[in-house]
Structure 1
Amino acid sequence: MEPKVELNRWPGSRHENAPNRHVLVLPGRGYTVQLPGLHLPMRTLALQGWQVWTATWSGIDGLGDLEAVEALVVRACETFEQRMGRLPHLVLAKSMGTLAAGWVADHDLPAIWTTPLLNVEGCVRDLARSAAPALLIGGSDDSSWDDAAAAMTGLPSVIVPGADHSWETGHWREELAGLEQLCEAVEEFAARLQPVTSAG
C-alpha cells in the first residue's frame, strides 16, 4: 500500500471559531489525534478559537526510510497550503510529525513540537534554524528526548516528569498531571502569538 496522507478539519473545532486562524496538526506514526496527548491539546486550541486541521497517515507501516517519512509529512503541509490557499498560522506536531521542522522553518511558521525527534540530527538542525516562535515539549523518560540537543535548538522547552514517548508513566494520576502540564504549555504558547488579522 502506497503511503498516503489525508487532511481533514477536526470535528472538535467550533463553527464560531475564527475562520482565518488555523492550526495544522501532524501526528506521530502510531499516535493518532484520538489519543490524549494530541486530542487534549487540540481541544485546548479549539477552545482558544483556533480552527484545527489534522493529518492522517495510511500505508506507512513499512515506511522505514527517514527521508520518505519526512517527504510524507511535508506533503501534508503542502496539501494544507494548496487546499486552503494559505499557510497555517500554527503547527502542532508529535514525533514523526516534527520532521516537518524544515518546511516550517522555510516558511517562518510558529510551531509547538511535542515529543520531538531530538535523536535525529537533521530534525535538530531544522528546529534550530527557524526564526519563528516555537516550543519543545517532551517527557523526561522519552527515548527521543535529548537535553543537549534541545539546548542546541535554542528553543524553550517544557519537560513532563516521568513521561515516555506516549505521555505515559504507568500511573494514571501522574499521566493526568502530565497531560495538564502539556495543555497548559500549549495554551500559554498559543495565547502569546500575535492575533491573526482578517486578511491573514
Structure 2
Amino acid sequence: MKVPGVFATSFEPDRDPVGTAVLVPGRGYPPMAPLLFFTGLALLQHGWRVEHHWWDPPAHESDEKTVAWVRAEVEGALPTSGPALIAGKSLATLAAPLAAERELPSIWLTPLLDMPDVVAAITANPAPQLLVGGTADDLWDSAVARDLARPTCRVVEIPGLDHGMLLPGDVVRGTEAHVEVVRAVDAWLDRI
C-alpha cells in the first residue's frame, strides 16, 4: 500500500479491492483534510479502492437545491458496478437518502443530525453505518444519535468536540480525538 500524495484522487489497495469507497467532502472540508484523509487510509488498509471526490458547492439557495446538488454529485461519483461505500463529512450526509436507497454502507463524519430527512435516511438504511460527532457541534444532536444507534448503526460521540472534531484552545485534545475517530473507523471496518 502506498501512502497517497496530495495530488492523487484514486488509490488502490495491495490486493484485489473489496469494493470502491468514495470520500465525499463537507462544504469547506476537502477529502485531504484529516478526518477524511485518515478514514481513506483505513479504508485502503482494509482492502477498499478509495476515490476522493472534490467539489465546489454552490452558495446555499434552499435546502431542496442543496440536497439535489449533493445527491447529483455523489451519484455521479459512485462506481457503476461492484460494492460501494460512502464516507462523507457534514454536507455529504445530505446523500444519506441515496445511500439508503442503494443500501450502501456509510461512514458519516459530523452528520447533519439537525435535518429530519438525513435522520430518516440513516434510520432507513439497512446497511452498516458509522456516525461520528462531538457534543459541542451545533449540528450534532446527542439524543437523536442515541436513537439512531443499533446493531447496524454504530454511533461514536466524543465529548466537547465541535464540528471540525476539535476542542477549541486545545490542539492536543483535538489531535487525540482524531485518533479516536480513526480507531472507531478501523474497528467498524473490521466488523463489516
TM-score range, shorter chain: 0.7 to 0.9
Aligned residue type for 1:44: A
**Cα offset for 1:56?**
1.4
Distance 1:69 1:186 in 2: 27
**Percent identical residues:** 30
Distance 2:13 2:84 in 1: 18
Distance 1:148 1:36 in 2: 27
Query: Structure 2 length as normaliser, TM-score?
Result: 0.86
**Cα offset for 1:116?**
0.5
CA shift digits 1:108-157 (9 cap, x unpaired) = 11111110000111111111111111111001211111012113334321
Distance 2:132 2:156 in 1: 5
Q: Please say if 1:52 is aligned against 2:47.
A: no
Distance 1:70 1:32 in 2: 18
**Cα offset for 1:49?**
2.1
Aligned residue type for 2:118: C
Q: 163, 166, 171: which is aligned to 1:165?
A: 163
Aligned residue type for 2:119: V
**Cα offset for 1:160?**
1.9
**Cα offset for 1:63?**
2.4
Compute the RMSD of aligned alpha carbons. Answer: 2.0
Question: Which structure exhibits the higher relative contact order, with contacts defined as CA atoms closer than 8 Å and separated by 6 or more residues?
Answer: 1
Q: Secondary structure at the match of 1:102?
A: helix
Query: Structure 1 length as normaliser, TM-score?
Result: 0.83
- Equivalent residue pairs, number: 182
State the match for 2:85 in structure 1: 90
State the match for 1:68 in structure 2: 65
Q: Please say if 1:115 is aligned against 2:110.
A: yes
CA shift digits 1:142-191 (9 cap, x unpaired) = 11110121133343210122211011113121011100000011111112
Q: Secondary structure at the match of 2:54?
A: strand
State the match for 1:5 in structure 2: none
The change in CA–CA distance for 1:14 and 1:107 in structure 2 (over 3 A counts) is: closer
8 A Cα contact 2:9 2:53, kept in partner: no
In the alignment, structure 1 segments of 5+ residues that lack a partner are 1-7, 194-200
State the match for 2:3 in structure 1: none
Aligned residue type for 2:51: W
CA shift digits 1:31-90 (9 cap, x unpaired) = 111211211111222222221112212252x22311222212211232134xx3226521
In the alignment, structure 2 segments of 5+ residues that lack a partner are 1-6
**Cα offset for 1:14?**
3.9
Residues 66-75 or 84-93, more deviating: 84-93
